[in-house]
A and B are shown apart, each in its own frame.
Chain A
Amino acid sequence: MLRLSSIDELKELREVLLDASDKSIPCIVIPTGTCGQASGASDLIRVAKREILAKGLTRKVRLRITGCHGFCQMEPSVLVEPRRVFYPRVGLKEMERIVEATARDEVLMDILFVDPETGKSVEKQDDIPFFNKQIRRLLAWNEKVDPIRIYDYIKVGGYSVLAEVFTKGNAAWVVEEVKRSGLRGRGGGGFPTGLKWELLAKQPNDRGKFLVCNADEGDPGAYMDRSVLEGNPHSIIEGMIIGACGTGATEGVVYARNEYPVAVKHLNIALEQAHRLGLLGENILGTGFSFDIKMVKGAGAFVCGEETALIRSIEGKMGEPRQRPPFPVQKGIEGKPTAINNVETWANITLIFRLGAGEFAKIGTRNNAGTKIFSLVGKVKNTGLVEVPMGISINEIVYNLGGGSTGKAKIKAVQTGGPSGGCIPADMFDLPVDYDSLAQAGSIMGSGGMIVMDDNTCMVDVAKYFMNFLKDESCGKCFTCRKGIQRMHEILEDVSRGRATLEHLDLLKELAEVVKDTTMCGLGQTASNPVLSTLRYFRHEYERHVVDKKCDAFVCKDLVGVPCQAACPLGTEVWRYAALIEKGDYVEAYRIIREANPFPSVCARVCDRKCETRCNHAVSGGEAIAIRSLKRFVTDRVAPEVYKPLRTHTNIGGGRVAVVGAGPAGLAAAHYLSLSGYKVTLIDSENEPGGMLLSCIPSYRLPRDVLRKEIESLLDYNITLRCGTSLGRDITIDEIFKDGFKAVFLAIGADKSWGLGLEGEKVKGVHPSMQFLKAFNLRGEELAKGHVGIVGGGNSAVDAARVAIRQKAVESVTLLYRRTSREMPAYAEEVEAAMEEGIILETLVSPVKIRYIEAAKAEGVRVETFVSPIKIDAKHGHLADIRCIRNELGETDSSGRRKPVPIPGTEFTIPLDRLIVAIGERPDSDCLAPMGLDVTKSGTPRVDAQTLATTRPGVFAGGDLVTGPNTVVDAIAAGKKAAGVIDRYLRGQEFREPPDVRLPRFFMEPATISDEDSEEAVRVEPAALPAESRRKNFAEVEMSLSTEAATREARRCLRCDLEFTRPEQNGQAECAAVEEKSA
């Protein structure tokens, strides 16, 4: 490499390089940052090279190996220039095809990026939503240059600004330009870079000055500096040379993390090349200016990112911060004036001089100029590096660039700034991302890590994680930082184990504030931010842990125990009966199920399976154990009589209890009260007990003989049934108490359908779904005829649709829902089954002129009111058709779902014979208020969530009446809870249930499963009646598992309980064995 001895020679070199390159030849660009290498980009390079050589394509295809481009989620990716085609997640076979196709200048349409929103392939990188919403000033360079080739960098204009800087030769001008650009330090503090340089320039120059590039990036979840170091090290060197010109610095130091091997390697190569070319060292480009850069590798202490600690580390001492003042600009390395800037700041310096300060400042907001690279990680679809203008809202970053949540869970917070930063809750996502706004919200910009968290993230655990990190990474000099963080971690550990009290939370806050106040360096002063910000915005989560001993995110193991058991409102020991099925002991398995659940056969068919969504298989990306099918398997094989419930007879006073409503909640309450020795009278308005189980759930899902058998098994000698008695009409609460009952449990359910609020809804042919289902299920009346339309997307809508299609006079059934089927609240498999049965699903359709106000309110969504209602078209007083309008999905609302927005001019008409309105139900609770109960606006009685007590003493309420339409298992749980509360109430005890952590207690020997077995195992799906044979009849659709299938499925269970129950000696023996091996 020839040493350049003048600025003109540099220009010449650039022209020669440009002449030599032929832009018409397509170039395959393979990003090979650490992220790319980790996902196999090195293999792609090998394949690409081999293909190009083997097929003799060296003159037709070029290959460039670059640093990370940012879309790490899609690594290993390939970019083909000049068409800028983007291929995500390229395999080795595909790489071969890409080489061939590129040589022929073709595009492989089948492996392009597919936009998950539209489902369409996107050819060009710049059209992909992740890329086209960014302003990629720094990251775009990474695509253009091979980091280990200085000529590449010079070709795209690298080092060209040095000409201007040197020829002007005016230090004051350089500093002024930086000040004019408004650049603030990208390391997190946000100190104006120009100001820092001005201070350095003013320092006496007798002993020399230092410029330092702080490349000690160590925040968990942040790696933007790494990508710049790896992908474009020369931009940093160029920035530092400019800095030296402006400040008169004589020596430069890059303090790099040793844990970034690729970055260290590339930087070393770049420094060496810059030296050889005469861009560093004595007499740079013959201008007489001398400046040299050396690299110092950090030994992995996080605190060395703090500038005074970094200085000590460079000096070869222990990385420990010291008091400022004196500031490094006054007294830095070896006592000489030192300016320290972050990697991204140095890269931005180069950018400022290329674009001009004015142009640079055009992007961003006032006081926050330019772009910032963020590393977007966590629970978002698109993880990677994004470069956005300062002042963009968090919403845009998380939803537009990040693509929103990965799964169904709602995004609840974003953590910025690493361990020194804080959590910003989702309702503050409008916040502009700049230094000042973030600081105001209790977080910091930090170096640019952005960790997205959803409902599966426990904020206590997040705070604990960061405290654990800082506990080790604090230098330990300041007592408050060292001990304070240890103590904060200790308290958080107590909170996450359910051992803390509310006083601990106050102590935590007090301590956090003192730690923030009294420590010397930036690390300590910001160390409490994770704790303080989570306490500020998520105190309710802390209180859940402390008061109720519950971790709603299912993270804190000591509160959750086994996820499936914790998810079940009844606390069924799923792991235990799965293990018993595996061992073939079905009777014992039945006992375990029945112990927790008085309706095992019902739940085996209609439970919404909260357990399966929390199964660790499902959470870790696999398929959950088919728990409901296993339950069905057991209940189909074992007679209920094998279970003899334990009678406790805690009722000493002989009090009688009235239970109003014989649905699942009422029946469960009556059953458990009876077990405690109470005489119970069960009052129901229908002629048969069962409630919604009977009147609403169709018999093809829940056969009536199964249901009746189960109900009968619960009605014992303590329970008296009074059917056909309606609360309010036939009996009042006062009368009940007058009859000598000591307590009342109201569980009358929610069986009144919401109307559409549309004129003409009263015409013949329009039925509320409840009326329709009850007419059929209780009385066998078939109300549906001809062409039937059903409005709604919940389970009752789907039930109504599937009942309708089974009725004789029905020709077609159309289900109308206002969002896409993805957002339907009904169980996915029910929707699928309905479609199999020939039900037409019209999604993104909502009946026009309908005010969804009431329904929407029940759903918690805000919908704007519609002005001109047009009646449902009717002929001779009978429904003729309904007019509908098409919707599109609009903005994401605060619930994380996208609002349906009607598209004007898309109205259309569906001719209908029957319309079933199934947009939700509410309790028929008009009678409650006159009886002395407080009733909320939505018609539910006001109830203490902990005790189910209403405002009237002795009256309790639960089930759908309180929650609105809900699942069967929740209703059973409410009834079970009510029985306990009423028992305690009648015995004169505190009736609030003590918080209960259900940890597994019984050790069940795990099955021996080989790795191959567990890898091959897939979820068992129960067989279903073929669609054609289930039309027009009500035979049960879902079938039971075979013994073999059930055993196989049970073996698939991960047995999360073993963590808690495995006998101690076993663990020790295992440890010993491992130690022996390693020795």
Chain B
Amino acid sequence: MITLRINGLDVSVEKGTTLLEAARFLGFAIPTLCHMDGLSPYGACRLCVVEIGEAPKAKLVSSCTYPAEEGLKVRTTSSRVLRARRMILELLLASCPQSKTIQDLASKHGIRRQRFKQEYEDCILCGLCVRMCEEQMMAKAIGFRNRGENREIGTPFDVKSDVCRLCGGCMYICPVCQLRCTYNEPEKAICGGCMNLSPPCIEKEPFDDMMCYMDPCVACEIQNNK
């Protein structure tokens, strides 16, 4: 067993436990977007950062990936942590304003404005779908491609993957709720179609460059019939 101190409370956990698990065990809420029980930790969204160690060597680490260490001092809501978290949420909000999950988190953290240029991206590259597909669905149909600003998720060569069973797990798990497996050509889509009940065309204007492949699309039909 490893004993560490989180926000002043001592806790003993098994070797290999992450800081996130230990903190949640004590009841400290830490927001996450890329973490899900049952999937391996990844550390992409950085929302779960906590402060460890003591000044001047204190640093922020992602609690979902950092293993508990003997005697470690952890602060989950220090001003440094909150400042970082707010900036991350502001960045997220600027990129994916349409996500309910992100909106809620931002609102909870008191974000009242975002100062960056508005974008409408449909993915924060949290990698949940990739891990879901690989670890729970045993399919490995999708994966990351490219790096830096060109990083994206997709099937190899954009061709429908043979191992995809159209289970829809990737979409179910997506925190941005914007059709992880969307493709403009239906035959290349890797899932069975959009299960999302709020298709993007409802608020068409801000999504000019988005393509809807739903056929028939409920929202469009309602509009057309008016």
- On A, residues with C-beta under 8 Å from B are 301, 303, 318-319, 322-323, 325-326, 470-480, 482-484, 486-487, 490, 503, 507, 510-511, 514, 517-520
Nearest residue in B to A323 (C-beta to C-beta)?
B65
Given A479-B92, A484-B91, A518:B46 Cβ within 8 A = yes
Given A301-B147, A472-B148, A483-B91, A520:B117 Cβ within 8 A = no
Structural contact, B62 and A479, CB atoms closer than 8 A: no
Q: Report B-chain residues with C-beta under 8 Å of the C-beta of A323.
A: 41, 43, 61-62, 65-66
Cα of A484 to Cα of B124 in the assembled complex, Å = 13
Structural contact, B116 and A520, CB atoms closer than 8 A: no
Structural contact, A482 and B46, CB atoms closer than 8 A: no
User: Which of the candidate stretches B6-14, B79-87, B177-185 sits at the interface with the other chain?
Assistant: B79-87
Is B223 an interface position by the 8 A CB rule? no
Given A483-B95, A510-B87, A472:B149 Cβ within 8 A = yes
Q: Report A-chain residues with C-beta under 8 Å of the C-beta of B46.
A: 478-480, 518-520
Q: How far is the CB of B185 from chain A (nearest CB, A)?
A: 25
Q: Report B-chain residues with C-beta under 8 Å of the C-beta of A473.
A: 147-148
Cα of A666 to Cα of B115 in the assembled complex, Å = 47
Q: Quick one: which of B41, B65, B88, B92 contacts A518, CB cutoff 8 A?
A: B88
Q: Report A-chain residues with C-beta under 8 Å of the C-beta of B91.
A: 479-480, 483-484, 487, 511
Structural contact, B43 and A476, CB atoms closer than 8 A: no
Cα of A503 to Cα of B113 in the assembled complex, Å = 14
- Taking CB atoms and an 8 Å cut-off, the chain B residues in 120-163 that contact chain A are 124-127, 144, 146-151
Is B212 an interface position by the 8 A CB rule? no
Q: Quick one: which of A301, A319, A474, A517 contacts B60, CB cutoff 8 A?
A: A517
Q: How far is the CB of B32 from chain A (nearest CB, A)?
A: 12
Structural contact, B124 and A479, CB atoms closer than 8 A: yes
Given A323-B43, A479-B92, A517:B80 Cβ within 8 A = yes
Structural contact, A517 and B84, CB atoms closer than 8 A: yes
Given A325-B67, A487-B116, A517-B84, A477:B44 Cβ within 8 A = yes
Cα of A319 to Cα of B65 in the assembled complex, Å = 18
Nearest residue in A to B18 (C-beta to C-beta)?
A323
21 CB < 8 A contacts A-B: A318-B144, A323-B43, A323-B61, A323-B62, A325-B66, A325-B69, A470-B148, A472-B149, A478-B44, A479-B45, A479-B124, A480-B91, A483-B95, A484-B91, A487-B91, A503-B115, A507-B115, A511-B87, A518-B60, A518-B88, A520-B46
Q: Report A-chain residues with C-beta under 8 Å of the C-beta of B59.
A: 517
Q: Report B-chain residues with C-beta under 8 Å of the C-beta of A482.
A: 125, 148-149, 151
Q: Quick one: which of B67, B87, B126, B148 contacts A475, CB cutoff 8 A?
A: B148
Cα of A478 to Cα of B46 in the assembled complex, Å = 7
Cα of A325 to Cα of B52 in the assembled complex, Å = 13
If A318-B144, A487-B116 are given as contacts, then 8 extra A-B residue pairs at C-beta distance below 8 Å, sorted by A number, are: A322-B43, A326-B67, A477-B42, A480-B46, A503-B115, A514-B88, A517-B60, A520-B65
Interface centre among B41, B69, B87, B88 (most CB of A within 10 A): B87
Structural contact, A479 and B60, CB atoms closer than 8 A: no
Nearest residue in A to B60 (C-beta to C-beta)?
A517
Q: Report B-chain residues with C-beta under 8 Å of the C-beta of A514.
A: 83-84, 87-88
Is B22 an interface position by the 8 A CB rule? no
Structural contact, B125 and A476, CB atoms closer than 8 A: yes
Cα of A481 to Cα of B146 in the assembled complex, Å = 15
Cα of A657 to Cα of B99 in the assembled complex, Å = 63
Q: Report B-chain residues with C-beta under 8 Å of the C-beta of A511.
A: 87, 91
Given A483-B91, A514-B88, A517-B60, A490:B65 Cβ within 8 A = no
Structural contact, B43 and A478, CB atoms closer than 8 A: yes
Is B49 an interface position by the 8 A CB rule? yes
- Taking CB atoms and an 8 Å cut-off, the chain B residues in 98-127 that contact chain A are 115-117, 124-127
- Taking CB atoms and an 8 Å cut-off, the chain B residues in 7-35 that contact chain A are none
Q: Report B-chain residues with C-beta under 8 Å of the C-beta of A301.
A: 147
Structural contact, B43 and A472, CB atoms closer than 8 A: no
Q: Top 6 A-B pairs ranked by shortest CB distance?
A: A476-B151, A323-B65, A514-B87, A472-B148, A518-B46, A474-B148
Structural contact, B149 and A486, CB atoms closer than 8 A: yes
Q: Report A-chain residues with C-beta under 8 Å of the C-beta of B60.
A: 517-518
Interface centre among A473, A484, A487, A519 (most CB of B within 10 A): A487
Nearest residue in B to A319 (C-beta to C-beta)?
B147
Q: Report B-chain residues with C-beta under 8 Å of the C-beta of A483.
A: 91-92, 95
Q: How far is the CB of A108 from chain B (nearest CB, A)?
A: 51
Q: Report B-chain residues with C-beta under 8 Å of the C-beta of A507.
A: 115
Cα of A300 to Cα of B21 in the assembled complex, Å = 37
Cα of A484 to Cα of B115 in the assembled complex, Å = 13
Q: How far is the CB of B226 from chain A (nearest CB, A)?
A: 39
Cα of A517 to Cα of B62 in the assembled complex, Å = 11
Q: Report A-chain residues with C-beta under 8 Å of the C-beta of B144.
A: 318, 476
Q: How far is the CB of B56 from chain A (nearest CB, A)?
A: 12
Q: Report A-chain residues with C-beta under 8 Å of the C-beta of B148.
A: 470-476, 482
Cα of A483 to Cα of B33 in the assembled complex, Å = 15
Q: Report B-chain residues with C-beta under 8 Å of the C-beta of A480.
A: 46, 84, 87-88, 91
Given A510-B87, A517-B80, A518-B88, A476:B49 Cβ within 8 A = no
Q: How far is the CB of B60 from chain A (nearest CB, A)?
A: 5
Q: Report B-chain residues with C-beta under 8 Å of the C-beta of A519.
A: 46
Cα of A474 to Cα of B146 in the assembled complex, Å = 10
Q: Report A-chain residues with C-beta under 8 Å of the C-beta of B151.
A: 475-476, 482
Q: Quick one: which of A322, A476, A503, A518 contacts B149, CB cutoff 8 A?
A: A476
Q: How far is the CB of A524 from chain B (nearest CB, A)?
A: 9
Q: How far is the CB of B186 from chain A (nearest CB, A)?
A: 28
Cα of A1073 to Cα of B34 in the assembled complex, Å = 47
Q: Quick one: which of B62, B80, B95 contacts A520, CB cutoff 8 A?
A: B62
Q: How far is the CB of A516 from chain B (nearest CB, A)?
A: 10
Cα of A519 to Cα of B59 in the assembled complex, Å = 11
Cα of A490 to Cα of B91 in the assembled complex, Å = 13
Q: Report B-chain residues with C-beta under 8 Å of the C-beta of A318.
A: 144
Structural contact, A518 and B117, CB atoms closer than 8 A: no
Q: Report B-chain residues with C-beta under 8 Å of the C-beta of A470.
A: 148
Q: Report B-chain residues with C-beta under 8 Å of the C-beta of A503.
A: 115
- Taking CB atoms and an 8 Å cut-off, the chain B residues in 37-65 that contact chain A are 41-46, 49, 59-62, 65
Q: Quick one: which of B44, B67, B80, B117 contacts A490, CB cutoff 8 A?
A: B117
Q: Report B-chain residues with C-beta under 8 Å of the C-beta of A486.
A: 149
Return the CB mask of B179-220 against A: 1 if under 8 Å, else 0.
Answer: 000000000000000000000000000000000000000000
Structural contact, B43 and A520, CB atoms closer than 8 A: yes
Interface centre among B66, B84, B91, B150 (most CB of A within 10 A): B91
Cα of A640 to Cα of B127 in the assembled complex, Å = 72
Cα of A486 to Cα of B43 in the assembled complex, Å = 19
Q: How far is the CB of B78 from chain A (nearest CB, A)?
A: 11
Cα of A322 to Cα of B80 in the assembled complex, Å = 23
Structural contact, B84 and A518, CB atoms closer than 8 A: yes
Nearest residue in A to B116 (C-beta to C-beta)?
A487
Cα of A517 to Cα of B78 in the assembled complex, Å = 13
Cα of A507 to Cα of B116 in the assembled complex, Å = 9
Cα of A474 to Cα of B126 in the assembled complex, Å = 15
Nearest residue in B to A519 (C-beta to C-beta)?
B46
Q: Report A-chain residues with C-beta under 8 Å of the C-beta of B61.
A: 323
Q: Report B-chain residues with C-beta under 8 Å of the C-beta of A479.
A: 44-46, 88, 91-92, 124-126
Cα of A471 to Cα of B151 in the assembled complex, Å = 11
Nearest residue in A to B33 (C-beta to C-beta)?
A479
Q: How far is the CB of A49 from chain B (nearest CB, A)?
A: 45
Given A483-B95, A490-B117, A518-B88, A476:B62 Cβ within 8 A = no
Cα of A325 to Cα of B115 in the assembled complex, Å = 35
Q: How far is the CB of B55 from chain A (nearest CB, A)?
A: 14
Nearest residue in A to B47 (C-beta to C-beta)?
A479
